[in-house]
Amino acid sequence: MNQYDLIVVGSGPAGRRAAIQAAKLDKKVLVVEQGKRVGGVSVHTGTIPSKTLRETALNLSGWRERGFYGKAYRVKQEISAEDLRRRLLITLDHEVEVLEHQFARNRVQSIRGKATFVTPDTMAITKDDGDVMHVMGKSILLAVGTKPFRPDYIPFDGKTVLDSDELLEIEQLPRSMVVIGAGVIGIEYATIFSALDTAVTVIDPKSTMLDFIDKEIVEDFTYQLRDRNMKLLLGQKADKVERLPDGKVLVHVDSGRRIATDMVLFAAGRMGATDTLNLAAAGLEADSRGRLKVNPETFETSVPNIYAAGDVVGFPSLASTSMEQGRVAARVAVGAIAKEPQKYFPYGIYAVPEISTCGLTEEEMKERGIPYECGIARFRETSRGHIMGLDTGLLKLIFSLKTRRLLGVHIVGEGATELVHIGQAVLNLKGTVEYFVENTFNYPTLAEAYKIAGLDAWNRMGEGPKEAPVATSQSTDTAATTTEPAFEKKKAASK
């Protein structure tokens, strides 16, 4: 039986980062992937396909130029499903090629097959032809990700009633669409199709959406969706979905509403892909959503030498955080020092418009009792915004009144997922409002909104103390409990 230092099950962001990390530490690593090609959900059905689809939709529809040329502006009058798929296939090929090259370069072995536990350190790998081989690992990392939740009451047919994996295979763009589920995936696809002129209705039993995002940002976002005629049926439940003889689908809503539509996307949740792992043989148990519990710092499960990382361990379920989790898990698994990741990571929602956020929301500031001030900038206040014809877009910064540190950055609008990294850097480097006031930003850029928002807050906060504030151990302000960065101290002393 082949023996490895680390067996990684799954080649998504968590698995591949873990495998490469362990290989770089000279460990013998095997990646087991049941899919046709390496890459996981991220490459084949999740992050990359949805973002490629978004990019194609925005480019071909001329969406970004409509602020200038009017709502009727189109780059291509008739956009087909084939137009969307073409770019997708090229992008996916490229992604897989890069990955395979990374594995080869780092001498990571990979095998195609389904892994199941035989004992806590032995796995059986069933290949497509039915052949079974056994492998042993000093450590095993489960990076198996998730799959769409498909409840029995939804009559999925892969053509008119679909989950988010199947949506990538559609042959025709729908004229109308009902999206069940106002989570990140549902909202991303709803807004992408809306940008393609599909009449979209979103249904969700919760009366609010994207609750982990700053409320003011969600309000601005929601206003923009309603302004372009998207229907948001929040606080309402789709209790029956019926395929009609004429090819349409009828969605029954608990409020009594009936919506006839060309297509239904069911995007209400995902399940950890643990059902086929034979967890019991390893002494492990998943929760009701198929997820595994781990130590959030080391990614160890309750069984020694078995680790889990990525979407299978739950929130935030992002490709970006999964990679970092995989790296840390691999280092712990092979006995290397694992540095704790930076405290603040960004969350990106690639809807149309984009949302991105890092740090604390205004609601969290209130909950924690941290005195704060906000600074707001609208993209239309920037020269770059004028040039681009933007009439929407908002950047919000939240500062602690005690320490003047940036504690939250929240953006909705063009380029939000890129812009957020400026705020993220300032947050993790413990910068204050003065960073934005005193620094020069390229002009004209959307990043200039940081300066405008910084000044907006500064105007209300005033000059502040000349000396760096002293931390108090009783403070509930997380930033206040850490000492000020050295460069700030030096600056304060030289004044």
DSSP conformational letter for 280: G
* Minimum distance from residue 95 beta carbon to ligand FAD (Å): 12
Residue 39 or 174: which CB sits closer to ligand FAD?
39
199 burial (CB, 10 Å; 0-12 / 13-18 / 19+) is middle
Q: Report whether 203 contacts 251 (CB < 8 A).
A: yes
Please tell me the distance from the alpha carbon of residue 301 to that of residue 206, in angstroms, as a whole number: 32
- Select 166 or 254, whichever has its Cβ closest to ligand FAD: 166
Q: CB 289 → ligand FAD: shortest distance, Å?
A: 14
Asked whether the beta carbons of 33 and 103 are under 8 A apart, the reply is no
Q: For residue 131, count other CB atoms closer than 10 A to its CB.
A: 9
Amino acid at 194: S
Binding segment (CB under 6 A) for ligand FAD, from list 226-234, 273-281, 451-459, 465-473: 273-281
Contact 380, 434 (CB under 8 A): no
Choosing from 7, 8, 22, 32, the residue that interacts with ligand FAD (CB under 6 A) is: 32
- Quick one: angle between helices 47-61 and 184-195, nearest 10? 20
Which of 263, 273, 294, 409 binds ligand FAD (CB under 6 A)? It is 273
Q: How far apart are CA 236 and CA 172, in angstroms?
A: 28
Cβ atoms 398, 408 nearer than 8 A: yes
Quick check: 115 binds ligand FAD (CB under 6 A)? yes
Q: Are 219 and 231 in contact (CB under 8 A)?
A: no
List CB contacts of 195: < 8 A, sequence separation 6 or more.
57, 58, 61, 63, 352
Cis before 13? omega within 30: no
- Shortest Å, Cβ 376 to ligand FAD: 26
Strand partners, 432: 405
Among positions 19, 319, 330, 406, the unique one binding ligand FAD when judged by CB under 6 A: 319
In 257-328, at which residue ranges do the beta strands (DSSP E only) sit? 258-261, 263-266, 270-272, 306-308
State yes or no: residue 311 binds ligand FAD (CB under 6 A): yes
- Smallest gap from Cβ 469 to ligand FAD, in A, equals 35
Would you count residue 53 as binding ligand FAD (CB under 6 A)?
Answer: no
Among 5, 33, 448, 456, binds ligand FAD (CB under 6 A): 33
- Indicate which single residue of 154, 178, 265, 277 sits in contact with ligand FAD (rule: CB under 6 A): 277
Question: Under the criterion CB under 6 A, does residue 42 sit at the interface with ligand FAD?
Answer: yes
Of 156-185, binders to ligand FAD (CB under 6 A) are 164, 185
Give the residue, chosen from 91, 146, 194, 382, that forms a contact with ligand FAD under the rule CB under 6 A. Answer: 146
Of 114, 331, 402, 430, which one interacts with ligand FAD (CB under 6 A)?
114
Structure token digits, residue 392: 């929407």
Question: Which region, judged by CB under 6 A, interacts with ligand FAD, from 33-41, 358-366, 395-403, 451-459?
Answer: 33-41
Q: Binder to ligand FAD among 52, 198, 317, 400 (CB under 6 A)?
A: 317
Q: Please give the helix or strand (H or E) that residue 327 lies within, else none.
A: helix 319-333
Our separate counts of H helices and E strands in the chain read 14, 22
Q: In what order do the strands lie in the sheet with 406-412?
A: 347-349, 355-359, 406-412, 394-400, 372-378
- 350 touches ligand FAD by CB under 6 A: yes
CB 417 → ligand FAD: shortest distance, Å? Answer: 8
When the beta carbons of 124 and 471 are compared against ligand FAD, the nearer one is 124
Residue 328 is a binding residue for ligand FAD (CB under 6 A): no
Closest to ligand FAD by CB, 190 vs 461, is 190
Is residue 372 a contact residue for ligand FAD (CB under 6 A)?
A: no
**Terminal-residue alpha carbon distance, the chain:** 69
Does position 236 interact with ligand FAD (CB under 6 A)? The reply is no
Label the pairing between strands 109-112 and 394-400: unpaired
Shortest distance, CB of residue 279 to ligand FAD, whole angstroms?
Answer: 10
Instruction: Write out the residues near ligand FAD by the rule CB under 6 A.
Output: 9-15, 32-35, 40-42, 46-47, 50-51, 114-115, 143-146, 164, 185, 273, 276-277, 310-312, 317-320, 322, 348, 350
